[in-house]
Amino acid sequence: MEKKSKILIVDDAVDTVELLKKRLRFEGYDTAEAYDGEEGLKQVAEYNPDLIILDVMMPKLDGYEVCHRLKSDENTKYIPVLMLTARSEVEDKVKGLDMGADHYLAKPFDYKELSARVRSLVATKAAREKLVEEEKSKALEQMMEEVEHEIRNPLTCIGGFVRRVNEKLPEGDPNKKYMEMIINEVARLENMIKGLVELKTIAISCTELTNINDVIMEALKLFEEDFKDKGIKVKTELLDNAPLISIDKEQMKMGLASLVKNSIEAMEEKPKILKMTTHISDGRMEIQVSDTGKGIPKDKIKKIFDPFFTSKMCGPGLGLTYTLKIIREHKGAIYAESEPGKGTTFTIRLPLKRD
């Protein structure tokens, strides 16, 4: 199922909330609601909306203060805000816009106009996020170039000399343990650089019509020992007679394997359940990888595909970045949903082969 844009409605007028909720859901949006300013701010943190429809006159905190706090916070400043109010004076509109509101409508409003504003603001936010992702991709490419040319050769030299010195140290020499620590750290950095170079050179080179269920089972087979050693139960719900899709089989297997590895590392306490499913939704093949691990906080979920991102919930590395690039090379999309303490679900959507 296509991920829906999320709209938070903050208004103390129940009739207005019900009207907007009913019509926006009919248009295909996901909605949540709050009935005062304080509840609205709490919902923003929990719901992470793509747009906020915000009334001005509310108890506890009015819409101006809510808007001011949202636009002053680095985590929420780019969420578009559409303000609604019974006040139609120019001064009130100016005040709302000065607080950072992206648009302002006076009550009673024409729903067709509100709907058009909603579409415009949601599209603008999506376009901005796409631009940010493109800039990130360019920055990553530049970083990989610099790492490859400026760091790999000196690191190889350091590793070579340290290994040579270590070999000449007699057994029992107290310096030997320090040399081994250096060797291990150099090897870790060399593996990271190798990963960066591989990430840079990803290209879909050998596509063929493939049953994605077979690729999933091959990816799971790579971790049979891990499942056994860590007591992880694996469940699969795979589509019967799945249509063949055009993919680079080996790269897709490694991309899925990175997701499985991430799930294994996230599951430290029972129950340990890994579930993989396939089905068709809106003309696309949808693959889901779910776990019962530690989960990822909402303020971190958007960063997990960044290279070397780390948190208490997941360690640093390139695995998820690698998977993201593979899925994009296949003209697909991937996103994650998570709840701390309950687990994470990754959803991949790939185009079906057209006749």
State yes or no: pLDDT of 355 exceeds 60: no
pLDDT tier, 260 (very low <50, low <70, confident <90, very high otherwise): very high
User: Do both 19 and 75 map to the same domain?
Assistant: yes
User: Sorting pLDDT into bands at 50, 70 and 90, what band is 311?
Assistant: very low
Report phi then psi at 35, rounded to 5: -115, 10
**Would residue 145 count as lying in a domain?**
no
The C-alpha atoms of residue 326 and residue 139 are separated, in whole angstroms, by 18
Q: Is residue 287 part of a domain?
A: yes
Mean pLDDT on 180-207: 74
Which residues on neighbouring strands pair with residue 281, listed in sequence order? Answer: 284
| 256 and 155, same domain (yes or no) | no
pLDDT of residue 316: 44
pTM of structure: 0.58
Least confident of 26-30, 96-100, 166-170, 265-269: 96-100
Task: Find the angle CA(228)-CA(229)-CA(231) to the nearest 5 degrees.
Answer: 65
User: Do the domain assignments include residue 274?
Assistant: yes
User: What is d(CA 54, CA 66) in angstroms, rounded to the nearest whole number?
Assistant: 9
Q: Are residues 168 and 276 in the same domain?
A: no
Within a domain: residue 81? yes
Domain membership of residue 72 (yes or no) is: yes
Q: How many CA atoms lie within 13 A of 14 on its CB side?
A: 0
pLDDT digits (tens, 9 = 90+) for 270-301: 899 999 999 998 888 999 999 998 888 877 77
Structure tokens at 261: 């590895």
Count CA atoms within 13 Å of residue 32 on its CB side: 19
Q: Do residues 183 and 257 both lie within one domain?
A: no
Q: Would you give the DSSP letter of residue 105?
A: E
Q: Tell me what the pLDDT averaged over the chain comes to.
A: 84
**Residue 116 sits in which domain range?**
6-129
Domain count, the chain: 3
Do 113 and 191 sit in the same domain of this protein? no
CA angle 287, 312, 32 (to 5 degrees): 60
Q: End-to-end alpha-carbon separation of the chain, Å? A: 22
* CATH code, domain with 218: 3.30.565.10
With a CB cutoff of 8 Å and minimum separation 6, the contacts of 119 are none
Question: Span 177-196, mean pLDDT?
Answer: 81
pLDDT single digits (tens) 44-60 = 988 889 999 999 888 88
* Lookup: tokens for 2: 């296509």
Same domain (yes/no): 23, 49: yes
Residue 20: what pLDDT? 93
What is the model's pLDDT at position 99? 76
| Sequence-distant (≥ 6) Cβ neighbours of residue 237 within 8 angstroms | 275, 276, 277, 278
What is d(CA 309, CA 321) in angstroms, rounded to the nearest whole number? 9
Q: Is residue 17 part of a domain?
A: yes
pLDDT higher than threshold 70 for residue 90:
no
Q: Sorting pLDDT into bands at 50, 70 and 90, what band is 142?
A: confident
Residues 48 and 155 in one domain: no
| Burial call 56-92: b when 16+ CB within 10 Å, e when fewer | bebeebbbbbbbbbbbeeeebeebbbbbbbeeeeeeb
Candidates 216, 220, 337, 206; CA nearest to 285 is 216
CATH number for the domain that contains residue 70 = 3.40.50.2300
> In terms of domains, do 196 and 215 share one?
no
| 162 and 71 within one domain | no
Tell me if 202 sits within 8 A of 326, measured CB to CB: yes
Radius of gyration (C-alpha) of the chain in whole angstroms:
25
User: CA-CA distance, 48 to 27, in Å (whole number)?
Assistant: 20
Contact 255, 322 (CB under 8 A): yes
Q: Tell me: do 232 and 287 sit in the same domain.
A: yes
Is 144 inside a domain boundary? no
Q: Both tokens of residue 160?
A: 């070579």
pLDDT of residue 63: 86
Same domain, 34 and 155: no
CA distances from 236 to 279, 288, 289 (A): 12, 10, 10
- In a shared domain, residues 227 and 185: no
Asked whether residue 168 is domain-assigned, the answer is: yes
